[in-house]
């Protein structure tokens, strides 16, 4: 476990105080919370937020990578807009849910938890979201396609690989009719890399023996050059 960037406990206490506990708790999911929330909820709605966007630009040295080979997870960066899901947790379970969510999302205190106005078809709700500052040392900045390919091929953490994380998120977004062109392009990069590696492996594989009529049922291997009969 890497050393925490900040003590997450004061941020948890502040989030609890801002919520107040007098009404149900709303949470905004834009990445793995959509397909693996790990908490009970009584309602889930498609939602959108203006002024923030989903980006696979946060280093992960615990959940989807290691200190030796950092992986990637999503952060909510300022600018643009994003579609995701909001979850309503009963107020009686809100405190326990926040505490367990902090263990999962905030072991190193990297996110900036914020209460955001989320639009839904049934009206706006105020939900807690985990945002990322561009000043954070865990913000990757711009990464090349080759860098993404390397991470997808090598990074693995306590919850699995960075590639699995990206693929599962993309699949769940599509299941909810949420289009994310940037994520689709990154996942396609990894798929193309796998196909290239498989093609290279197939080209280097030994050729199967070939049966030659009249050879007493003994197979022969293809020759790499012209036979003596043709010279």
What digits encode the pLDDT tens for the residues 9-66? 999 999 999 999 999 999 999 999 999 999 999 999 999 999 999 999 999 998 899 9
Residues 69-85 as b or e (16 or more Cβ within 10 Å = b): ebbbbbbbbeeeebbbb
Contact partners, residue 19, CB within 8 Å, separation at least 6: 25, 94, 98, 128
Per the structure block, which two tokens stand in for 128? 């807690």
User: What would the pLDDT profile of 69-123 be if each residue is shown by its tens digit?
Assistant: 999 999 999 999 999 999 999 999 999 999 999 999 998 899 999 999 999 999 9
pLDDT given for residue 191 in this prediction: 80
Reported pTM = 0.81
Q: Look at residues 2, 8, 112, 10 and name the one whose alpha carbon lies nearest to residue 60.
A: 2
**In the beta sheet, which residues pair with residue 55?**
75
The string of DSSP letters for 23-86 reads S-EEEEESSHHHH---S--SEEEEEEEEEEEEEEEEEESSSS--SSS-EEEEEEEEEEEEEEEE
Express each pLDDT in 148-172 by its tens digit. Answer: 999 999 999 999 999 999 999 999 9
């Amino acid at each position: 476990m890497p050393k925490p960037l900040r003590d997450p406990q004061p941020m948890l206490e502040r989030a609890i105080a801002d919520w107040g506990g007098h009404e149900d708790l709303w949470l905004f999911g834009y990445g793995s919370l959509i397909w693996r929330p790990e908490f009970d909820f009584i309602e889930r709605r498609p939602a959108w937020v203006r002024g923030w966007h989903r980006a696979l630009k946060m280093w992960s040295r615990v959940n989807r990578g290691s200190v030796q080979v950092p992986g990637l997870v999503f952060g909510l960066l300022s600018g643009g807009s994003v579609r995701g899901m909001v979850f309503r947790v009963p107020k009686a379970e809100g405190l326990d849910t926040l505490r367990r969510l902090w263990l999962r999302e905030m072991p190193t205190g990297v996110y900036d938890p914020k209460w955001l106005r989320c639009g839904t078809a049934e009206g706006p709700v105020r939900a807690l979201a985990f945002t990322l500052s561009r000043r954070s040392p865990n913000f990757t900045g711009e990464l090349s396609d080759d860098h993404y390919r390397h991470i997808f091929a090598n990074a693995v953490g306590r919850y699995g690989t960075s590639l699995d994380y990206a693929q599962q998120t993309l699949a769940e977004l599509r299941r909810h009719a949420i289009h994310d062109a940037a994520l689709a392009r990154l996942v396609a990069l990894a798929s193309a890399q796998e196909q290239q590696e498989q093609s290279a492996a197939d080209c280097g594989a030994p050729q199967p023996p070939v049966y030659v009529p009249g050879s007493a049922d003994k197979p022969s291997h293809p020759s790499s050059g012209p036979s003596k009969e043709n010279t």
